[in-house]
A and B are shown apart, each in its own frame.
Chain A
């Protein structure tokens, strides 16, 4: 008997969501098969890769990043421009580390100013992320959403704690896209999507961040949560889970020891920045294979590798 292919057909499809405007705008989602299973059916839009920048100087990350971006000096907008021109990411994620009330505590106005400048300098879609302080983030997000009306940015993110404010301003009032962030649990992801729906946010405006971790650091929960979400959204056609997934893996990767330890700390481990890139590539790709439709990385070499990986599998 000859070989008979076991094709797996699903009846659900991941929603399509558009980010940005103009030539560099893109859609994600549209897949009705497991990630990269184009041999089963419609693989949808190609997964997208963005690069992370910060409102704080690159030197706050490490010497190596300061060196990489030294041309831009301490100017965030120049940094964004340099990243777009030199490395051609699909999008740029601007993270407001400096807004943290326990850190620099930059004012909302200051943050909005930076966001405006960055948005003016780039043509790829913009994603804004906060300082992980829910209250402050929700103020910053509301004002940025207002100031960047018409740019179709993604706000990263609305959580159980602040989804009302972020959802109302971001998606309803100013028509931006929002990311619904939950913590590695299918039920929490579903619940937040439902709550946003009840608020009146259209499903075409929502992307999910279902939580993430660096490989080796609880990543099994991330991949299993994604597997379960996809099997529910595709297999059971559960439309409360059909939002595309974005995963800011760089937020976790660059704070684990494999990326942080200097060569003096761990002489056997070799070049520190290359270690970080390997961690980042491994984590990003693992998310994409598990279900992310977009990932955020920090190092340009990771961007290059992950983009190439996506090309090869698409």
Chain B
């Protein structure tokens, strides 16, 4: 829970010396309370007061950095339960699971899948961020597989309840800032020792939430505060309940004992049903998973899951937009068609992808449509005849073109008449409804 302006004011020297840039200590304190200014801006605050403040204003849920280099990611750090309250900050990571029972072909197949599924979507690279290698009984196989998958350069998550095996495994990947899973009440001290020595995040697990809670406190006492909680539980219902309760205890319950990220073994819960895996993984994107463990990755699983995750982790205050202007594809000429779309980043991403796929030269004209999708901006009155006319006039396209053809999105076919009236000399062509059909459409147009 944060401090109020008045409480912070009491921590200042109350001299109104103005060095912080504010006229009074009170004015400064109000700004600090609202999060707009750092307490460090006042040079006269005592360390003791700073300590008090940072404890009181510490976020309800810890943030950790895991992985190294390109693989480095943050987890945790959420401050709200619902995204309309405030932007969610650290998207859940996807880990692909390996265990020591897999043979070489099975391991290679998964490794290839992880490499294959790596693509861009609206400026974000989409792939599985982590690999998780689980030790069961075959140490040699486990360590071999770890050697192999750690070559991928992902976040390495080592899972072993046997502390001596865990120690050997962590030794192999310790330079990658890995995560160690598998600490329980029986092995806690040994596991804490490994995690502390390597300064890595440790994953705790217990049969019930009550026991997990006690375990967090025990780990804390043993001196390790960088933790992840395995909230999987025995079955799907329990996993959901655990994951919700842990997050809620931290965010609205103000209980920092559960103020840690969660990890869920969706692969185990789904029992080999890939569609169920997608169902559960999607659920956890919405309801509080921090690391989602899948049995494998493929495009059919990745496309919905990463799309959903990208949606949920966008800032609700500002829609993702692209600059309104003319974009060029394949060196368009004076007789190439002009395609029209809106400045919503998602729409631009989809449409530009298809024009590229079409491999035929084209202009893409984007007016200022408020950053909305085609139908939304049309319904909002931001994508009509006059907006489009102005965009065409300002684009300078008329001077460049000998053949003036404007292709409008099929979903706003009703605009055809309006635009024709606004733009004499232009041929207005209704394009297909879905961007997918653009390549075929352009081929037939030329």
Residues of chain B within 8 A of A305, CB atoms compared: 273, 275-276, 279
Q: A266-286 toward B: CB 8 Å interface, digit per residue (1/0)?
A: 101111001101110111011
Q: Which chain A residues (199-255) contact chain B, with CB distance < 8 Å?
A: 214-220, 223-224, 227-228, 231, 255
Q: Are B308 and A282 touching (Cβ within 8 A)?
A: yes
Q: How many residues of A contact B (CB 8 A)?
A: 56
A308 at the interface (CB under 8 A from B): yes
Residues of A1-16 at the interface with B, using a CB-CB cut-off of 8 Å, are 1-6, 8
B299 touches A275 (CB 8 A): yes
Judge whether B300 is part of the interface by a CB distance below 8 angstroms: yes
A3 near B373 (CB under 8 angstroms)?
no
Partner of B304, one of A39, A261, A278: A278
Interface residues in chain B, defined as those with a beta carbon under 8 Å from any beta carbon in chain A: 82-84, 116, 121, 209-210, 212-214, 217, 235-237, 240-241, 244-245, 248-249, 252-253, 255, 257-258, 273-276, 278-280, 282-283, 285-287, 298-301, 303-308, 310-312, 314, 316, 346, 350, 373, 379, 433-436
| Assembled-state Cα–Cα distance A260/B439 (Å) | 14
The answer to whether A39 touches B279, judged by C-beta atoms less than 8 angstroms apart, is no
A269:B304 contact, CB within 8 angstroms: no
Assembled-state Cα–Cα distance A283/B282 (Å): 8
Across the interface, do A216 and B307 meet the contact criterion of CB distance under 8 Å? yes
Known: A220-B83, A257-B434. A282 touches B245 (CB 8 A): no
A136 at the B interface (CB under 8 A): no
List 18 additional A-B contacts (Cβ < 8 Å) besides A219-B311, A258-B307, A275-B300: A2-B213, A3-B257, A6-B249, A216-B303, A216-B310, A220-B83, A220-B314, A224-B83, A257-B434, A258-B303, A270-B299, A282-B278, A282-B304, A282-B305, A286-B283, A289-B287, A302-B275, A309-B280
Closest chain A CB from B122 CB (angstroms): 9
Please give me the residue from chain B that is nearest to A290 by CB atom.
B286
Mask, A165-187, CB within 8 Å of B = 1, is 00000000000000000010000
Q: Which residue of B lies closest to A302 (CB)?
A: B275
A282 and B311: CB pair below 8 A? no
Residues of B within 8 A of A215 (CB): 282, 304-305, 307-308, 311
CB pair A3–B209 under 8 Å, yes or no, is yes
Contact of B299 among A2, A255, A269, A290 (CB under 8 A): A269
Q: Which residue of A lies closest to B303 (CB)?
A: A258
Partner of B210, one of A2, A275, A290: A2
Q: Which 7 A-B pairs have the closest CB atoms?
A: A216-B307, A282-B304, A3-B213, A6-B253, A215-B308, A312-B236, A220-B311
Give Cα A270 to B212, complex, Å.
41
A–B pairs, 24, beta carbons within 8 Å: A4-B255, A37-B244, A215-B282, A215-B304, A215-B305, A215-B311, A218-B373, A219-B312, A227-B82, A228-B84, A257-B350, A257-B434, A257-B435, A258-B303, A275-B299, A278-B274, A279-B303, A281-B275, A281-B279, A282-B278, A282-B308, A285-B283, A286-B286, A289-B283
| Contact across chains for B300 and A274 when beta carbons are under 8 A apart | yes
Which of A6, A183, A219 has the largest number of chain B CB atoms within 10 A? A6
Complex Cα spacing A281 to B304, Å? 9
Q: How far is the CA of A276 from the CA of B279 in the complex (A)?
A: 13
**CB neighbours of A6 from chain B (8 A):** 245, 248-249, 252-253, 255
Distance in Å: Cβ of B309 to nearest Cβ of chain A: 9
Asked if A313 and B83 make an inter-chain contact with CB atoms under 8 angstroms apart, the answer reads: no
Q: Which residues of B contact A313 (CB under 8 A)?
A: 236-237, 240
Q: Is the CB of B84 within 8 A of A224?
A: yes
Q: Which residues of B contact A274 (CB under 8 A)?
A: 300
Kindly state the separation between the CA atoms of A6 and B245 in the bound complex, as whole angstroms: 7
By a beta-carbon cutoff of 8 Å, the part of chain A in contact with chain B is 1-6, 8, 36-39, 183, 214-220, 223-224, 227-228, 231, 255-258, 260-261, 265-266, 268-271, 274-275, 277-279, 281-283, 285-286, 289-290, 301-302, 305-306, 308-309, 312-313
Q: Is the CB of B248 within 8 A of A261?
A: no
Point out the residues of chain B lying under 8 angstroms from A270, CB to CB.
298-300
Which chain A residue has the least Cβ–Cβ distance from B81?
A227
Provided the pairs A282-B305, A282-B308 are in contact, do residues A261 and B279 lie with their beta carbons within 8 angstroms?
no
> Whose C-beta in chain B lies nearest to the C-beta of A260?
B436
Pairwise interchain contact A231-B82, C-beta atoms closer than 8 A: yes
Are A271's CB and B300's CB within 8 A? Answer: yes
Q: Name the residue on A nearest B313 (C-beta).
A: A220
With a cutoff of 8 Å between Cβ atoms, the chain A residues found around residue B121 in the complex are 216
- Cα distance A278–B279 in the bound complex, in angstroms: 8
- Which chain B residue shows the least CB distance to A219? B311
Q: How far is the CA of A217 from the CA of B287 in the complex (A)?
A: 19
* Cα-based distance from A281 to B244 in the complex (angstroms): 21
Q: Which of A223, A231, A277, A278 contacts B83 (CB 8 A)?
A: A223
List chain B residues, Cβ under 8 A from A4.
253, 255
Bound-state Cα–Cα, A233 to B49, Å: 43
Inter-chain contacts of B287 with A (CB < 8 A): 289
Which residues in B have their C-beta under 8 angstroms from that of A283?
304
Q: Knowing A282-B304, A285-B279 touch, does A265 contact B436 (C-beta < 8 A)?
A: yes
B209: nearest chain-A partner, CB-CB: A3
> Measured between C-beta atoms, what is the minimum distance from B230 to chain A in Å?
16
Complex formed: what's the CA distance from A1 to B245 in Å? 17
Chain A hits for B304, CB < 8 A: 215-216, 258, 278-279, 281-283
- Contact, CB under 8 Å: A223 / B286: yes
Asked if B303 contacts A278 (CB within 8 A), the reply is: yes
The answer for the CA separation of A215 and B278 in the assembled complex, in Å, is 12
* Complex: chain B residue closest to A273, CB-CB: B300
- Closest Cβ of chain A: how far from B349's Cβ, in Å? 10
Are the C-beta atoms of B346 and A217 separated by less than 8 Å?
yes
B353 to chain A, nearest CB (A): 9
Q: Which residues of A contact B306 (CB under 8 A)?
A: 216
A8 contacts which of B212, B248, B373 (Cβ < 8 Å)? B248
CA distance A4 to B240 in the complex (A): 18
- Chain B residues with Cβ under 8 A from A183's Cβ? 379
A306→B279 CA distance, assembly (Å)? 8
